[in-house]
Every structure is written in structure tokens, then in C-alpha cells.
Chains A and B, each alone.
Chain A
């Protein structure tokens, strides 16, 4: 109980004084996760829409894999990326291991199936409604994909937020490929893991509270934006 009270006190203190170390860690967390989710959305939205719209060999297998990979264990993704990026790995020449770049790659892979699978579902639902009309208007395959992604934009935001929640909260992958190096690759989750193992539970919990506040804020901002725009178009 003492730890809990102390944790809230610490969290509040860190937030109010804008502790320099904390700001750096928060900044890196946001930078890594936003970039990873941005890349994953760029790839995952069209991928999901393609799975929902087109008939191609292996479509069903891909759909099953995307759904299954929504629950990929972060440590496994981290390990695979580690093997790829390590000095002797196939992508070792890039020198990305233990840099924020490696963390972005790992989180992107982790989040991609979530965004793709959820957007496939959204686009499939929308397709039910739009298909005949779009065929009547003689829309081409790419035009249909873009139309459905754009008209599903408010629902797809939820898919992207689900991806962001996953990215900002995971610890296993960034720990393995980033290494939790102070002032270099330390993010909120790895800092929490470190403080916990050092026994500073109050600090760890304080960081945890800040992390949750961060995730809540990002979601509030995104959903708030959506609610301003959506009533007019849904």
C-alpha cells in the first residue's frame, strides 16, 4: 500500500517537474511507437483491404495468418528481429541493432497483423454495402480499395489505435532489440522493467502510471478528433 501511495506521489512529481530523464524516455517511447504504428498502418491498411476485396492465391491462408499473428508474443518477434539485425544476420550490415530503428522495426512487425486483420474486417463489412454500387459505377480494383479505405476511415482509426496500444505497452521486443540503453534506447516499458528488477517498485509504478496516462491521452485525442468529424459522415 505504501508503494502505491509513494508511486502516485512520484508519478505526480515527475509529471509536474517535467523530469529531464522522464521527458527523454517518454519522447523516445512516443517516437518509436508512433513511427512503428505509422509504418504498420501504411502497409497494414492496404494489405487488410486487399485481403477483404481481392481474390488471389493464398488469400485465405494470409487472412488466417493475420488473425493468428494478432497475438504474436513480443519476445519472439524481438528475437526474430534480433537474429535478422545481429552482426552475423542477413541484415546485420545495416547496423540497426540496439538503436531506436531496430525497435521501430520490431514494433511495426508486432502491430502490422493487428491493423491488417482489423481493417480487413472493417473493409469486408463496408464492401457488403458498397459492392454493387461500385461495380455499377465501373470502379477499378485500386479505386475500390481506396474508396473503401477512405469511407471506412472512422472505423479504421480504431484499428490503428489498437495497434498503438499494443506498441506503446509491449516490453519484450524493444528490450531484446533495443537493449534498454540509458539515453539511447530506453523507453517507458523497459525502464519500468529495469526499476522493478532493481527493487525500486515505487519508481516503477510511478512510471507505469505515467505510461497509462500517456496511452489514455493519445486515445482521447484520437477519438475526440473522430467524434468531431464523424457525426456528419457516418
Chain B
């Protein structure tokens, strides 16, 4: 990219102590917990999310589980702030002065990769936040190494395989050092080996201290990754409990049917 353009795309450098600068993770005021109160979302006259109240605390890996069309992706977008609820409130614990959008990241079901090289994709969020060139290069190299993409750094992002693209999307989110990472069906279109690599990467992100909130309809993935399960059906939360309890003793008929693989509409 030409220097003139890159100047425009890059935000002016912020002072290092700024809470919005991820290069200085001054986590004095955590943005979690994330609280949803009676959240509804309507589109085309249909209520797709129906009075959901939830609290996401730090630490645990929360898995939003449910069949297709349950509203999992919508719920994730409501949490991440991409769409506004028709009714109810989504609020972070952080005071309004803190730019919560800079402290969370989301990996979409179909990764949207920029038409640039692999490393330029990872560098992009840092450029947006005004991280200087030297710090940027170091953090990009680290993120690529963690995602096992170092050898592909110079390749065009869109020439990667599906699994590599998803790993790149996670690396791009991780490089921002988010406090919360949202993932929408992270392994939906991948073969088992690629899916396993993604699961391991999500585990690493979690171990590095980020809260994980992911959606899936894949029971295996949920059993392997979940600390707590939020079971969603027809836009409503049917169960919200620790993973072990959910998988052994589901309370609702829908959850039991889903676990047995014969949830009917």
C-alpha cells in the first residue's frame, strides 16, 4: 500500500497509557461482565430473539448451542454490538468512557479477509488503532506464529485453504489482544483435521486470558470446549448452566431432544 494511503488508513498514534491502545493492556477496569436484560430482536415482524437475559462473566468458555435458526448468530451480533436490540439492554461493566469496541473481537462464520497478504490482514486492526510500525511488526509476527501461519505470511490471504483462512481470522482477532473473543460457528465448514486445529487455537486464545463466547450446532465441539452452555431454541434461552450438568442432565425436553439428535421444529 502506498505511504499516503496507509497514512489515511492508520489512526494517529495514541499515548501508550490509553485504555484503547491494545499494545498496553492496562486491564485495570475489565469490560466484563456483559449483561443482557430482556433483549429482543425483531425483523420483518418476526421476533427472532425473545426476551433473553444473560450475564457473561470473565474466564469461562461460554458456548451458545442450538439448532439452525435458533438465533445463535443474532445473539452473538447483539452481544458484539453489530446490531441493536429492538427492546431491552446490552451493557458492559466498563464505564462509558472506555471504548469497549476496542477490547473485543469477533470471528465470523465466513471469514472476511482483506484482499491483501496474510500479514497485512493481521496488521490491519493494529494500523486502525494507530500502533506504530515497529510494535506492529513484532505483534504480527507473534500472532502468525501462534496460528501456525508464519510460513504463509507473504501469501495473498484469499489464496489460503478454508482452515487456514479461519486460523488467519482468529489470528487477526487475537493480535488485538481482546478481552472477549466472539466466534460464530468457527468450525462449521471445515474438515475434522482443520476443525481440530481451530479448536486448539481457540484453547490457546482462552489460555492467554481472553473470554470465549462461541456459537455452534456441533455437539462434539460444545462438549470439548464448553465450560458453560447456553442452549438456544426458537430465539429463547432454554437452559443456561455448567457444561457437565447440561450434557448429563438436560432439564428441558428440547435440550434433551437436541442432545439425542432428534430435535423437531
Contact = CB atoms under 8 A, between A and B. Distances in A.
A132 B82 CA distance: 7
Interface residues of B, number: 26
A151 to B, nearest CB: 5
Contacts of B155: 232
Contacts of B156: 232-233
Contacts of A138: 99, 101-102, 128
A135 B82 contact: yes
Interface centre among B1, B9, B102 (most CB of A within 10 A): B9
Contacts of A154: 115
Interface string A133-162: 101111110110011011100100000000
A234 B116 CA distance: 9
A132 B73 CA distance: 13
A118 to B, nearest CB: 18
A130 interface: yes
B151 interface: no
B112 A130 contact: yes
Contacts of B101: 138
A154 to B, nearest CB: 8
A143 B10 CA distance: 7
A104 to B, nearest CB: 22
Interface in B214-239: none
A232 B156 CA distance: 5
Contacts of A19: none
Interface string B133-160: 0000000000000000000000110110
A154 B124 CA distance: 19
Nearest to A230: B115
A139 B114 contact: no
Interface centre among B5, B102, B106, B112 (most CB of A within 10 A): B112
B90 to A, nearest CB: 15
Interface in A206-234: 232-234
Nearest to A155: B115
B211 interface: no
B160 to A, nearest CB: 12
Given A143-B9, A146-B9, A150-B1, A132 B99 contact: no
A139 B112 contact: no
Given A129-B112, A233-B116, A233-B158, A137 B124 contact: yes
A151 B8 CA distance: 14
Contacts of B188: none
Interface string A99-134: 000000000000000000000000000000110110
Given A136-B80, A143-B9, 16 more contacts: A129-B112, A132-B82, A136-B105, A137-B105, A138-B101, A138-B102, A138-B128, A139-B128, A142-B8, A143-B11, A150-B1, A151-B115, A154-B115, A233-B116, A233-B158, A234-B115
Interface of A: 129-130, 132-133, 135-140, 142-143, 146-147, 149-151, 154, 232-234
8 contacts: A129-B112, A135-B82, A137-B125, A138-B102, A140-B128, A146-B5, A147-B9, A232-B155
Interface of B: 1, 5, 8-9, 11, 77, 80, 82, 99, 101-102, 105-106, 108, 112, 114-116, 124-125, 128, 155-156, 158-159, 176
